[in-house]
Amino acid sequence: RKEVEQDPGPFNVPEGATVAFNCTYSNSASQSFFWYRQDCRKEPKLLMSVYSSGNEDGRFTAQLNRASQYISLLIRDSKLSDSATYLCVVHNAGKSTFGDGTTLTVKP
Amino acid sequence: SAVISQKPSRDICQRGTSLTIQCQVDSQVTMMFWYRQQPGQSLTLIATANQGSEATYESGFVIDKFPISRPNLTFSTLTVSNMSPEDSSIYLCSSKGIYNEQFFGPGTRLTVL
């Protein structure tokens, strides 16, 4: 079993749709959690950290469920510019483990 | 957030040769990381480079193949030695922020013929 598992998608949604990505992790001692965005042929960039209480940044909402070892990312009112691969990242003991990513395509 | 530059941005190399990738951070950082990302796949950590000590390699990666230097707190190099076509990949360096978030360089796209 992989340490971090994501639904690979692809997710193809129309503009304005709401889309949710899920991620599970296997190490219950994991300390920090993040969502990154990676555009084609570019490096990953931090989208947002994920806190136990849940956190929101504009159209993006991240949730963490430690009991179920589950992280989610919700994107509301999708824009064409949201098309990218979204990487779930789990950090423990000085090391970050990346999921394989979920690809999102937002269509007009 | 740290700003990280890498060079070269891309290279095409012959098998059996070696390539050294440079990574420069705009601030002093204790830990730097080297990742590999093969087409359509996620990032795989090669090694962690700490200033003043030997790099720590992940399973499947060895120092003879991927020697790393870390001469100061803002710079690191990764060498891909005795290259084969299987080494064709994007190589990324990164540093870690105070909340364990990572900042990446733009990557080096390596093609081995």
Q: What is the pLDDT of residues B17-68, one digit of tens each?
A: 999 999 999 999 989 999 999 988 889 999 999 888 889 999 999 999 999 9
Cβ atoms of B113 and B19 within 8 Å: the answer is no
**Alpha carbons A63 and A94: distance in angstroms, whole number:** 22
- For A47, nearest residue in chain B (alpha carbons): B101
- For B31, nearest residue in chain A (alpha carbons): A94
Strands A19-25 and B4-7: unpaired
pLDDT digits (tens, 9 = 90+) for A24-79: 999 999 989 999 999 998 999 999 999 888 899 999 999 999 999 999 999 999 99
Task: Tell me the β-bridge partners of B111.
Answer: B12
**Chain-centroid distance, C-alpha B84:** 17
Cβ atoms of A20 and A82 within 8 Å: the answer is no
Look at A94 and B42 and tell me if their CB atoms are within 8 Å. no
**Alpha carbons A30 and A70: distance in angstroms, whole number:** 11
Judged by DSSP in three states, A86 sits in: strand
Q: Which residues of A touch B104 (CB under 8 A)?
A: 43-45
**Alpha carbons B36 and B80: distance in angstroms, whole number:** 11
Write the burial class of residue B59 (CB in 10 Å: 0-12 exposed, 13-18 middle, 19+ buried).
exposed
Mutation test of the interface with chain A: which of B100, B103, B108, choosing the one with the most A Cβ atoms within 10 A? B100
